[in-house]
Amino acid sequence: MTKKQMPKIELTQAGLTEQEMALASGIINTRTGALRASKPKVTRTDIGPDPKDPHGYYRLYAIEGGETAYIWRMVAFVCSPHSRHHCMPCTAEFDVPGRSGPEKLQRLTELDAIADKIVDTVSPAQWHGIRRWSRALGN
């Protein structure tokens, strides 16, 4: 059995801004130049109760690395040759800092745009997740 190779990604071809490049560089395996095989590390630090919550149920967390992890998850969903990455990434936004609402939705849209730029640098022949979902949906 051969090991499935993650696709090589040339971030310099993605047309990313300096800030986008800083977030996206963490999705690349520095030894091989390919997409990392696993999610980048996310660190959560409990800051305390959310003052906007009148009942005291919700806590605030400082999240480091979450935006990079989100970008990796979206790119892996499309391009990874590993079937474990092809499940719907419905909890990926949990790694992105902020409460649910318009601001977080705007940030997720921005992160999706970065992921799309990166995916566009990868040959469609390596869009393994898209091909798998296409077969599943009968397209």
Does some domain include residue 47?
A: yes
The total number of structural domains in the chain stands at 1
Could you report the per-residue pLDDT of 73-99, keeping only the tens digit for each? 999 999 999 988 888 888 999 999 987
Answer whether 93's CB lies under 8 Å from 104's CB.
Answer: yes
* CA-to-CA dists, residue 84 to 69, 73, 89, 94, angstroms: 16, 11, 11, 19
Does some domain include residue 70?
A: yes
Domain that holds residue 57: 11-136
Does some domain include residue 69?
A: yes
Does some domain include residue 1?
A: no
**What is the pLDDT confidence band of residue 28, given thresholds at 50, 70 and 90?**
very high
Name residue, tokens 């790694």: 95
* CA-to-CA dists, residue 4 to 76, 81, 86, 89, 139, angstroms: 13, 6, 14, 21, 25
Residue 3 vs residue 28, higher pLDDT:
28
What CA–CA distance (Å, rounded) separates 37 from 77? 12
pTM for the whole structure: 0.88
What CA–CA distance (Å, rounded) separates 72 from 23? 10
Does some domain include residue 62?
A: yes
**What is the pLDDT confidence band of residue 1, given thresholds at 50, 70 and 90?**
very low
Does some domain include residue 132?
A: yes
Answer whether 129's CB lies under 8 Å from 77's CB.
Answer: yes
Does some domain include residue 93?
A: yes
What CA–CA distance (Å, rounded) separates 76 from 128? 9
Does some domain include residue 91?
A: yes
